[in-house]
Structure 1
Amino acid sequence: MARFHCRWRSLFIGVCTPCICLLLLLVFLTTMVCMTMNGEAAPGTIVQETPSHSSNNLRKKSFIPNAKTFWLGPNEGAFWNQLQLALDRYFNPILRPNDFRKSMENSNFNESLLIKSFIELTDSDSMRKNFDKLSWQMQKFVSNMQKRDYPAIIQPDGVCGAGAKDEKEPPLLLLAIKTTEYNYKNRMAIRQTWGKEGWVAGNKNSSGGYVRRVFLLGREDPEEVDVSLSELLRMESEHYGDILQWDFIDTFFNLTLKDVLFWSWFSGSCNQTVFVFKGDDDVFVNTPNIITYLQDQLNKSRANDTIADFMAGDVIDSAIPHRVNNSKYFIPDTFYRGHYPTYAGGGGVLYSGLLTKRLHEISKSVHLFPIDDVYVGMCMIRLNTHPIHHPAFLTFDLPEKEKKELCSYHKILLVHKRTPKQIVRLWADLKRTQRQCWDVPLRNAVKK
C-alpha cells in the first residue's frame, strides 16, 4: 500500500510541476504585457530628482515614449489621462511597431498623431460626458489643446533675439521672458537691469559671455480690453527688437503654448546659443552669477555628455494637483488624476540649447497641460531625465532672516516676486555692494 501511494505521488509531481511552472510563466508574461500597454506607475510613487545623464541621447534620439507614467490609468475617467494613454499606445513599439518606427524617423508624423488621437477620443460618448463635467475655463482650454500652429505676429530683429551687433563668439545665454502686452514697465525694468543684451562678465574673475534677450507674448482678448495695445507693441518692437508675439489669446492656461512655440522658434533660429534662461517678467536675476554658474557647467568633466540633459532650477517633486476651485492652479479630477512629475518651478529655470531642441521634438508626443512648468516636467520624464535642484533659485522668495543681510542678493541666481521699482532698486544695490560682497558664495547647492 505504501508503495502504491509513493507511485501516485511521484506521478502527481511529475505531471503537475511542469503545469504549475507553465501557469506561473503565463501569469508573468501577461503582467509584463499589461504594464507595457498601460505604461503605469503605482499611484503615489515618488519621482526621484536625481538627474539621469545618459550620453548620446540627442544623437540616438533615445526618447522613452512608453516609459512608466506618473498619472493614473484610463479607468479613472480623467480627460487628459485618457487622451495621453491613447497617444502612448500609438507610440508603443509592441502594439504598433510601424507607427513607433515612423515616430522615430519623422517628427511631423508625431504632430499628426496628436490631432488624430484627440479627434478619435473626443468623438466618443464617454469622453463627451467627461468634457461636460469640466469647468467653463477648462472646456475652453480642451477645445483648443490640439492646436499648436499659431503664426508669429511680431518677431525679433535678430535671428535669435536682441543682442550685440559685434558678437565675437556664439551667445552663451538667451533670456526668454514670458510677459503680456500690459506689462511694459516690467519689460523696461528688465532691459535696464539684469536683462541687458551684449557682453556680460561673470563674478570673481570668471570669464563672461554674450547674452541675448527675447520677450514672449500672446494677444490680449479683444472682448476683455478697452484699448488695443498692438500698435504700441509694434513701436516697442521697432525700438528694441526683442518682441516675439504669437496669434493666440494670452491666458494663464496658455502659458504652456508659449513654451511649445518658443521651443519651435528656438530650434529654427538659435542654432549656436548654448543656454536658455526661461522665466517670468516679475523675477529678479543675478545675471553675473548666472554667467559664472553656466561657465562652471561647461568646465566640468564630461560636460559634452551631460549638456543635452541639463536643466537647473527650484525643483519640486511629489506634488499633487490643486483641487480647490478658487486657485488659479485648480485642476479638477475629471481632467487629470495622479501625481505631478518632478519639475522646476516656472518662475525661472536654466536649460541647455540642446535640451531645448529635444523638448521641442518630444513635446509632439505629449498632449498640452494647463500648468506650464508641470508640462515641461512631463516632457522631461519622456526624455528620461530630470532637472537639477539649486537653492539659489528662490521662486518662493528669500527667507525673512536673509532679506536683511547686506549680501543676500549676491548669493542668489533668481528670486521671485519683484515689482519693476524693486528690480531697479535691487540692481543698483547689487552694483553698490559689489566690493563688499566680492567673496560671497552662492547659497548652498545641496538640497536639504
Structure 2
Amino acid sequence: MSYRRRKYKLLLCACAVIGVYYFLGINDYLNSRSFEDGFDYPLNIDLQPVVQEVLAGKKPSVQPINYYPYRFLTNTGKCNTIEKLDLFIVVKSAMNHFGHRNAIRLTYGQENLIPGRIIKTLFFLGIDDGYPKSETQSKIDEEMVQYKDIIQIDFRDNYYNNTIKTMMSFRWLYEHCNTADYYLFTDDDMYISVNNLLDYVHDVAIPTSIEHGDMNLYAGYVFQSTPQRFRTSKWRVTLEEYPWNKWPFYVTAGAYLVSNKSMKTLYAGSLFVKHFRFDDIYLGILAKKVGIVPQHCPRFHFYKKKYDKEGYRDVIASHGYEDHDELIRVWNEQNNIN
C-alpha cells in the first residue's frame, strides 16, 4: 500500500471519528455538569417564599420572568359554580383530533359517570397558521358551539409548544376553576379509568390524614433520565439550554395527576422559572424548584399496555389509543357497558 493511500485512509478514519464525535454530541456529554453537585435553574433563588406571596395574593418580592403572552379565545360556563369539584380532567388535544375528542366524550370524559362525584372535562387547543379561516378551525368552531367544552389559546399548536399549552392550561385553571380537589392532565390518545383514579387518590389521602386536595400531590409514572445530546435528534438539548447531566425526577407527560394545592403551587412557581420546551421536563424542574416530590404510580402506563380484561382492572392510564373504536370498546368492557 502506497504512502498516499495510507494517508488517505487515515484521513478518512479521522473524519469518521470526528463525525461520530460531533453527531453523537460526545463533547456535550463530557462537559455537562453533575446534577448531584448542586442543581440550579433560572431563577436561581429560593422560590418557596415567593410562591407563598403569590398564593396569598400579595405582590411578589421578585419580578416574574415567565408570563406567556397568549390569550384565551374561548371560555366555558363549566366552572360558573360555587360547588367544589372532585376532579377536573384537562385534555391536551391537537386541533384536528375530532375523533379523539368524540371518543373521550363517549368514555371517560362523561361528567355524570360516577354518582355522587362532581367531575368536569375540558379540551385545550392552540391554533394553526390559517386561523381564523382554516377549514379545521371552522370545524372546531362548530364543535365548540355543540359541546361547549373547548378552551382555545392563540399560540401555534405544535410539538415544541407543548409547554405553552400545559402552562396556559394551568393558568386557566388557576384563574377560572381552582376549586377541584384534583386535576388530571392527559393527552387525547390515552385510556383513562376515572374510577381507578379516584380510588388511588382516596388511598393516598387517607394515610396522610390530609384533606383531599390540600396535599402536594404530583403523581404518575416517574422517571429520572439524561438529556439527549445527539445532534440529529428532535429531543436534542444543548448545554446552553440545560448544562446538567440528569433531569430532575419528572412524570411522563401522557397522563399525570396533581392536587389542588400542587396545581396552584406549580402555576405560581412557573412565573419565576425559565421556560423549557419539553413539558414533562419543565414540570419536573418546577416541582424541584418549589419543593414538590413526584410520586411514582406504576398504574399510569406511559406505553400502550397490552389489553386483556383482567389485566386492566387496576390500570389508571394507558398510552397509544389512536384507534377511537378500540378506546370505546376497551372502556365499555372495563365499565360493564354492553
The structure in which a higher percent of residues are helix is: 1
| SS class of match (1:263) | helix
Q: How far does residue 389 in structure 1 lie from its aligned partner after superposition? A: 0.4
2:196 aligns to what?
289
2:309 aligns to what?
406
1:184 aligns to what?
98
1:345, 1:373 within 8 Å by CA — same for their partners in 2?
A: yes
How far apart in 2 are the matches of 1:272 and 1:102? 20
Larger radius of gyration: 1
Q: How far does residue 230 in structure 1 lie from its aligned partner after superposition? A: 2.1
How far apart in 1 are the matches of 2:52 and 2:174? 23
Q: How far does residue 292 in structure 1 lie from its aligned partner after superposition? A: 1.7
After superposition, the Cα gap between the structure-2 partners of 1:302 and 1:238, relative to the gap in structure 1 and judged at 3 Å, is same
Percentage of pairs with the same residue: 23
Deviations 1:66-121 (A, max 9, x none): xx525xxxxxxxxxx6xx2xx32xx469xxxxx9999895249532xx1xxxxxxx
Unaligned runs of 5+ in 1: 1-40, 47-67, 71-80, 94-98, 115-145, 202-207, 435-448
| SS class of match (2:141) | helix
Shift >6 Å, 4+ stretches? 99-104
Partner AA of 2:325 in structure 1: K
After superposition, the Cα gap between the structure-2 partners of 1:107 and 1:220, relative to the gap in structure 1 and judged at 3 Å, is farther
Q: Work out the number of aligned pairs and report it.
A: 301
For residues 265-276 of structure 1, what are the structure 2 equivalents within 5 Å?
A: 265-276=172-183
Superposition TM-score, scaled by structure 1 size: 0.61
Partner AA of 1:411 in structure 2: D
1:214 aligns to what?
122
Partner AA of 1:154 in structure 2: T
1:43 aligns to what?
34
After superposition, the Cα gap between the structure-2 partners of 1:198 and 1:337, relative to the gap in structure 1 and judged at 3 Å, is same
1:69 aligns to what?
39
2:181, 2:213 within 8 Å by CA — same for their partners in 1?
A: no
1:110 is the counterpart of 2:14: no
How far apart in 1 are the matches of 2:196 and 2:262? 21
Q: Which moved more, 1:213-222 or 1:360-369?
A: 213-222
Deviations 1:267-324 (A, max 9, x none): 121232110000100010111111222233343342249833111100002x111223
How far apart in 2 are the matches of 1:100 and 1:265? 18
1:154, 1:234 within 8 Å by CA — same for their partners in 2?
A: no
Q: How far does residue 194 in structure 1 lie from its aligned partner after superposition? A: 1.2
| SS class of match (1:229) | helix
1:197 aligns to what?
111
Higher relative contact order (CA 8 A, sep 6+): 2
Instruction: Give the one of 233, 248, 270 matched to 1:327.
Output: 233
1:424 is the counterpart of 2:316: no
After superposition, the Cα gap between the structure-2 partners of 1:248 and 1:333, relative to the gap in structure 1 and judged at 3 Å, is same
1:415 is the counterpart of 2:318: yes
Superposition TM-score, scaled by structure 2 size: 0.79
How far apart in 1 are the matches of 2:117 and 2:124? 22
How far apart in 2 are the matches of 1:43 and 1:340? 11
Deviations 1:38-82 (A, max 9, x none): xxx970439xxxxxxxxxxxxxxxxxxxxx525xxxxxxxxxx6x
Partner AA of 2:314 in structure 1: K
1:159 is the counterpart of 2:79: yes
Instruction: Give the one of 244, 249, 267 matched to 1:342.
Output: 249
Deviations 1:131-189 (A, max 9, x none): xxxxxxxxxxxxxxx560211111223227xxxx9x9x521000001012111110000
1:173 aligns to what?
87
